[in-house]
Structure 1
Amino acid sequence: MLRLIAMLLTLAAPARAQDVAGEFDYYVLSLSWSANWCAYEGDARNSPQCDGSEDFGWILHGLWPQYERGYPADCRSNFRNPTRTDTAAMADIMGTSGLAWHQWNKHGVCSGLDSEDYYALSRLAYGKINRPAAFRGLTDTVTLPASLIEDAFVRDNPGLDPDGITVTCRQSYIQEARICLTRDLEFRTCGGEVIRDCTLDSALFEPMR
């Protein structure tokens, strides 16, 4: 009987409204340390991003439209999808054209922009951030507190407050630095669902390949 009631309540629940492209509150700019991603995932996938001939440090994982609570997804877009040439042109800051395609398909379609303008805005946002150069000088794998990553970004980016950035971890590695930006790409405070810092005191951090 309880199972039947639960099923009926589920069927009676209102359907989630379709998110509308262009209707969101701010952006989250996500930066990923390439060597760490390669260590816990990319090497196993034989990603060209992890080839020793590359010189990737903090790459652009994505520019994500965000609500104050939650984020839009599965937006309907009237714009054409990017071409292979379009996505390949983003590989210099995103590591691979595949990531560029994925980010458009998941997040770019909710931006209200066409793919060309979305990629241009993503590149502009990426270029706005001073990515701490100290990490590029590492020669060995180190362990460090995740808070050190946040401190370094705050120090090197005047106007960026600790509440405007969060650092995430995955499989004991530093994963991403996520920076909150207004729709005009100015620093702003992150929403409560975004600002959940990794609390590891000894997170792994790989040197550049």
Structure 2
Amino acid sequence: MHRLTILCAAFAAALCASLPARAEGERAGDFDYYVLALSWTPSWCAHEGDARDAEQCAPEQGHGFTLHGLWPQYEAGWPSFCRTAERDPTRRQTGAMADIMGSGGLAWYQWKKHGRCSGLDPDAYFDAARRAYDGIARPEVLRALPRAMDIPPEVVEAAFLEANPALKPDGITITCRAGRLQEAQICLTRDLQPRTCGEDVRRDCGARTVLVPPIR
């Protein structure tokens, strides 16, 4: 019995060592690159937003790929809820991000979990997030969908690659959730230039097709 306990403990240690680091409270500014996460808003509304009566899900809002966040990343794993001497943003600062993030509440949460890890103050972090978002062309073909359609994830990726010649296939990941298109995650240097993603980020949706709801 004692031997079995030792073996189980050794197995658990080996398993934990193989997983990406996900500790919390790391030192701000200590990271390798960014992940720009772009959420397909119609899918988020179908999963969560409609039930919350979220403003960005109202008819005629016209949100397609909105900014989920700009996430500091390690080559393996990521920091979160970092220690920083920078003050937290004001409601005005977070509210100013609602046009590309959907709500000031999301901007506040993203600052707490990811923005503090950038080592930047709120103005500089939100400016970087906006520049990263503006620097990636979102495929117009998805905005023009007349109805919900089943589309292979690789077609969504190809649309991003065509719209952004500087992007490479190993620098973008398409994710899905409950059969719907969820996000495009794009890897950027600290200077916001396209780069290769770490292995733990390169995990594309494994579905043959995903449902892509149209813009409202």
Superposition map of 1:42-61 within 5 A: 42-61=49-68
Structure 2 residue 170 is the aligned partner of structure 1 residue 171: no
Per-residue Cα deviation, 1:154-175 (whole angstroms, up to 9, x for no partner): 1110110000000000011010
Distance 1:43 1:174 in 2: 16
In the alignment, what sits opposite 1:138? 145
Q: 1:66 aligns with which of 68, 73, 89?
A: 73
Structure 2 residue 176 is the aligned partner of structure 1 residue 192: no
Instruction: Give the drift of 1:53.
Output: 3.4
Distance 1:70 1:187 in 2: 19
Per-residue Cα deviation, 1:79-110 (whole angstroms, up to 9, x for no partner): 11111111110000001111101100100010
TM-score normalised by the chain length of structure 1: 0.92
Superposition map of 1:41-190 within 5 A: 41-190=48-197
CA RMSD, 1 decimal: 1.9
TM-score normalised by the chain length of structure 2: 0.89
In the alignment, what sits opposite 1:37? 44
Maintained 8 Å contact 1:26/1:66: yes
Maintained 8 Å contact 1:35/1:50: yes
Q: Which runs of 5+ in 1 are unaligned?
A: 11-15
Question: What is the aligned-residue identity percentage?
Answer: 53
Instruction: Give the drift of 1:24.
Output: 0.4
Maintained 8 Å contact 1:147/1:199: no
Instruction: Give the drift of 1:202.
Output: 2.0
Per-residue Cα deviation, 1:42-88 (whole angstroms, up to 9, x for no partner): 11111111011312111000000000000011211111111111111
- Secondary structure at the residue paired with 1:126? helix
Give the letter aligned to residue 120 of structure 2.
L
Give the letter aligned to residue 182 of structure 2.
Q
Distance 1:26 1:198 in 2: 22
Q: Which runs of 5+ in 2 are unaligned?
A: 13-22
The runs of at least 4 aligned residues of structure 1 exceeding 3 Å deviation read 1-7
